[in-house]
Amino acid sequence: MKFRAKIVDAACLNQFTRVSNMIAKLAKTCTLRINPDKLNFILNDKLASGGVSMWCELEQENFFSEFQMEGVSAENNEIYLELTSENLSRALKTAQNARTLKIKLTNKHFPCLTVSVELLSVSNSSRIVTHDIPIKVIPRKLWKDLQEPAVPDSDVSIYLPVLKTMRSVVEKMKNISSHLVIEANLNGELNLKIETELVCVTTHFKDLGNPPLASENTSQGRNPEEMAEVHIDIRKLLQFLAGQQVNPTKALCNIVNNRIVHFDLLHEDVSLQYFIPALS
Amino acid sequence: TAAMLKCEMNGSQVKVFGKAIQALSRVSDELWLDPSEKGLALRSMNSSRSAYGCVLFSPVFFQHYQWSTSMKMNDDDRPLNLNCKLGMKSILPIFRCLTSLERNVEKCKIFTRSDKCKVVIQFFCRHGIKRTHNVCFQESQPLQVIFEKNMCNNTLMIQPRLLAEAIVLFTSSQEEVTLAVTPLNVCLKSSSEESMDLTNSVYSEMSVDPDEFDFFQIGLDTEITFCFKELKGMLTFSEAVHVPISIHFDFPGKPMALSIDDMLLEANFILATLADDRSRASSPQSLCLSQTQKRSDLIQSNPKADKSGTSQAPECISRKTAPKRLYSRETPTNNSAGTCGNPPTRRANGASIFEVPESSLSDTDEGPGSPYLRKFSCMFFGAVSSDQQEHSNHPLDSLAIASDSEEDVINGSVSF
């Protein structure tokens, strides 16, 4: 198994750092999948995360000037690694004004992802900083649980409002209730509702628009006003929203009534899918 | 009359003073105010005796500086100092929000007397607002440390910004950091011992070119490991006063010094370093260390130390020589009026125990009119008075606990 990659472009490095920061906010521990074309950050630990799953994908050639990998075997030319997300984001933080960034798989006492940064200091001498991030190699037999989740047939698909606004609303709601209803219809309306013995609070978002594909797939008979809803843990929604430091290029959510809400985001060239199941 | 301190600062001086207190708060929860003719020294030592910090403000730093010892003599026939120890919890909040203090405070007055039990800190602010803080103090002899910076084989001087870039590398969970040097290269890295203990920790390493240092002298290839916390404290302080930091060190086990030196103030942090011998416990608390042989000597000669559970205390800073009798009750050790904290220059049997260089012995020659801007190259460690009584009341105040055996009492200075 081998992996070496290099980033020389400042914009690519910043974007990669942003992705890593986002992953660190969304999942404490995650799986990094490496194949010749893509890198994926995966969370599919149903038990640990209470059913939440995450699939983040980026095309390696959009980031790396050099990229070499050799998977477990010729037929299975992939590498699956488990790591603590924060370790990677912290290491990348030191690469803010770096000339180059190299990442490679190494084995120093134990398997590591070694991040090596070349910094240019004021006095024009270069300084090398390396971080050995401990990782665990995930064996072949567990790979089947780490595949891209199927996008469910949703009842409603809708574009999301500005995530920062959503986040501040949900942050306040969290103080009142531990669970929340997210509902939307094909008329571009989305509501966030909480209810306790003493109070009900609903925030209404209008004129959001619905993606065209969704309206085609749904049965002709669906009333555009009819809401599809899911009851979810408010903290899970908040964690997802907190991970989005920058407003995405595209953001939509798919709701399967009483089953699951699926968030589908695009941050420039990095896609993120996040699934929150209904509370049982 | 009582020993006394009275000083006055303006807004920007208060900011620097506050930064010093903040840096010392990284060392321990207690702070000594120790005035002398050299200026006002703020001192702090941690409970495991593995870190010591002192910031000495020269009298010219202040708008106004006045101090005196008491007219009363103690048993040893010496005048009593202001032995003033404050809790960091009491004094740190007063010097929070330094930027706003700098802006709003026109004058700050600090006043205390050894017969009152409190320090009065007054801020005269804009718009006629006056804020007064009364902080109770505990009577306690300050501890000091002698460290021969000039005798170290390795000296580096570096701009604080550079060190700040290095600090970012290490996570807050990592307490120890290793500095590895050769004449061609300097490398700061996570302590490998610590990394081994924590299976999930990242091992980081940063190499710095010798050209980046303002001063670079390596006489001994070495790797020393020390606690990070105090380095961060000193770094913030040096950034605030815009003065480069000097690092003086030798071999593992021997303490290292971080210092900054400017015309108005001098700051020194003396930190213990990990000895090569791995048999110690890996807890960062026990980062006080000397060679094991010395450790066992001390334990034998200090049966009390073991029982009281303070066996850490005597071992904290390694010594080049075996302990000798420092002084007996009869020998006057300090002439506080002129030479507060200076080592005794005479002992019962005449030999000098302190291995103190000429430059600091010359302190005793200074009369009251001597220039304030003299820098001193070492600071020495020990209780200011040799009062055995006090020693047994505050066992942790001395470097080593008094023992019953003929082996000696190290209630005074130790040099390296």
The Cα B178–Cα B189 span in angstroms is 5
pLDDT tens over chain A, length 280 residues: 999 999 999 999 999 999 999 999 999 999 999 999 999 999 986 666 668 999 999 999 999 999 999 998 888 999 999 999 999 998 998 888 888 999 999 998 789 999 999 987 766 677 888 999 999 999 999 998 899 988 888 899 999 999 999 999 999 999 999 999 999 999 999 999 999 999 999 999 999 999 986 445 555 567 889 999 999 999 999 999 999 988 899 999 999 999 999 999 999 899 999 999 998 7
Q: Residues in chain B, how many? A: 416
Q: Residue A99 pairs with which residues in a beta bridge?
A: none
Predicted ipTM? 0.82
Determine the residue of chain B that is closest to A29 in CA distance: B200
What are φ and ψ of residue B346, in 5° steps? -135, 145
Q: Which of A36-40, A216-220, B13-17, B243-247 has the lowest mean pLDDT?
A: A216-220
pTM score: 0.71
The Cα B262–Cα B264 span in angstroms is 6
> What is the mean predicted confidence (pLDDT) over B291-298?
29
CA distances from B199 to A77, A81, A131 (A): 28, 16, 14
Question: Which residue in B173, B201, B203, B212 has the most chain A C-beta atoms within 10 A of its own C-beta, making it the best mutation to test that interface?
Answer: B203
B309: pLDDT strictly greater than 60: no
pLDDT computed for residue B290 by the predictor: 32
Whether B48 contacts B227, CB under 8 Å: no
pLDDT tens across A213-271, in order?
644 555 556 788 999 999 999 999 999 999 998 889 999 999 999 999 999 999 989 99
**Alpha carbon B169 to its chain's center:** 26
Tokens of B7: 């000083």
- Find the helix or strand (DSSP H, E) in which B133 lies: strand B130-136
pLDDT tens across B81-115, in order?
788 999 999 999 999 989 999 999 999 999 998 88
* A112 to chain B, closest Cα gap in Å: 9
Q: Residue A32 pairs with which residues in a beta bridge?
A: A41, A81
Buried b (16+ CB within 10 A) or exposed e, A187-213: bebbbbbbeeeeeeeebebeebebeee
Q: Contacts of residue B209 in chain A, CB cutoff 8 Å? A: 121, 123, 125-127
CB-CB: which of B165, B201, B209 is closest to A125?
B209
Q: Do B212 and A84 touch (CB under 8 A)?
A: no
Q: Residue A229 pairs with which residues in a beta bridge?
A: A183
Q: Contacts of residue B208 in chain A, CB cutoff 8 Å? A: 127
CA distances from A224 to A185, A188, A211, B94 (A): 6, 9, 13, 63
Size of interface A-B (CB pairs under 8 A): 52
